[in-house]
Structure 1
Amino acid sequence: MKHLVFLLLGLILQPSLSSATEAGGSNYLPGFYGDFGMAVLPDQGTYFNNFFAAYQDTKSETGTLLEMPGIIHVTDQKVLGGQFLAGLYPGLLVSKDHSGSNNFDRVGLGDFYLVPGGLNWKWDNVTALLFEGIVAPTGRYQKNDFNTGRNYWTFDHNLMLTWGLPGNNEISVDIGYMNNLINPATDYKSGDEFHFDYTVGHYPVSALGLGITGSYYKQVTKDTSSQSLSVAESGEASSIGPVVMYTPHINGQDVTLSLKWLREFNVTGRAQQEYIVCRIFTSF
Structure 2
Amino acid sequence: MKKLVILLLTLAAGQQGLAQGHYTGSSFNPNDYFAPHAGLIVPVWYGYANMDYHNAQGKKSDQLINPKPGNPTSLDITQNVKTHSFILMAIYGGKGKVLGANWGMMLIPTLNSPTAGIALDYYSQQTGSGRYHFKNKSIGFGDMYIQPVWLSWQQGNMQYAVNYGVWAPTGRYKPNDLDNGGHGYWSHNIRAALKYKPTPSINMSIAPTLEINHWQKDTDFKEGTHLTVDLGGSYVWNKRGDEVGLFGHYTKQISDDKGAGGGSFVADQMAGIGGFISYWVVPRKVGLMGRITQNFATENRFGGLAMQTGVNFLIPTDKH
How would you bin the TM-score normalised by the shorter chain?
0.7 to 0.9
Partner of 1:4: 3
CA distance in structure 2 between the partners assigned to 1:51 and 1:133 by the alignment: 20
Partner of 1:180: 213
CA distance in structure 2 between the partners assigned to 1:14 and 1:44 by the alignment: 32
Higher RCO by CA contacts (8 Å cutoff, separation 6 or greater) = 2
Partner of 2:23: 28
CA distance in structure 1 between the partners assigned to 2:163 and 2:14 by the alignment: 31
Q: Secondary structure at the match of 2:181?
A: coil
Q: Is this contact kept in 2: 1:11–1:26, CA < 8 A?
A: no
Count of residue pairs brought into register by the alignment: 275
Of 220, 233, 236, 1:200 maps to: 233
Q: Is this contact kept in 1: 2:272–2:295, CA < 8 A?
A: yes
Partner of 1:266: 297
Q: Is this contact kept in 2: 1:4–1:41, CA < 8 A?
A: no
Partner of 1:50: 44
Q: Secondary structure at the match of 1:76?
A: coil
Of 68, 74, 78, 2:97 maps to: 78
Q: Is this contact kept in 2: 1:160–1:174, CA < 8 A?
A: yes
Q: Is this contact kept in 1: 2:21–2:211, CA < 8 A?
A: no
Q: How far off is 1:11 after superposition?
A: 5.2
One-letter identity of the residue aligned with 1:222: D
Q: Secondary structure at the match of 2:18?
A: helix
CA distance in structure 2 between the partners assigned to 1:229 and 1:220 by the alignment: 15
Instruction: Specify whether residues 85 and 230 from structure 1 end up closer, same or farther in structure 2 by C-alpha distance, changes over 3 A only.
Output: closer
One-letter identity of the residue aligned with 1:271: F
Partner of 1:63: 82
Q: Is this contact kept in 1: 2:232–2:248, CA < 8 A?
A: yes
CA distance in structure 2 between the partners assigned to 1:41 and 1:229 by the alignment: 37
CA distance in structure 2 between the partners assigned to 1:235 and 1:102 by the alignment: 21
Q: How far off is 1:132 after superposition?
A: 0.7
Q: How far off is 1:229 after superposition?
A: 4.9
C-alpha distance after superposition, 1:146-205 (max 9, x if no partner): 211000000000122222222722212221000000002112000001111122222232
Q: 1:150 and 2:150 equivalent?
A: no
Between 1:148-157 and 1:50-59, the stretch displaced more is: 50-59
Structure number having the greater strand percentage: 1
CA distance in structure 2 between the partners assigned to 1:142 and 1:199 by the alignment: 38
C-alpha distance after superposition, 1:44-84 (max 9, x if no partner): 12221223211121477111111221111211242221122
Q: 1:89 and 2:95 equivalent?
A: no
C-alpha distance after superposition, 1:214-268 (max 9, x if no partner): 111001001011x365632111111012221222326xx4323321111111111
Structure 1 unmatched runs, 5+: none
CA distance in structure 2 between the partners assigned to 1:102 and 1:122 by the alignment: 48
Instruction: Specify whether residues 114 and 14 from structure 1 end up closer, same or farther in structure 2 by C-alpha distance, changes over 3 A only.
Output: closer
Between 1:130-139 and 1:54-63, the stretch displaced more is: 54-63
Q: 1:160 and 2:193 equivalent?
A: yes
One-letter identity of the residue aligned with 2:295: E
Instruction: Specify whether residues 25 and 40 from structure 1 end up closer, same or farther in structure 2 by C-alpha distance, changes over 3 A only.
Output: closer
Give the TM-score of the pair, scaled to structure 2: 0.77
Structure of higher CA gyration radius: 2
Root-mean-square deviation (Å): 2.5
Partner of 1:38: 32
CA distance in structure 1 between the partners assigned to 2:282 and 2:197 by the alignment: 23
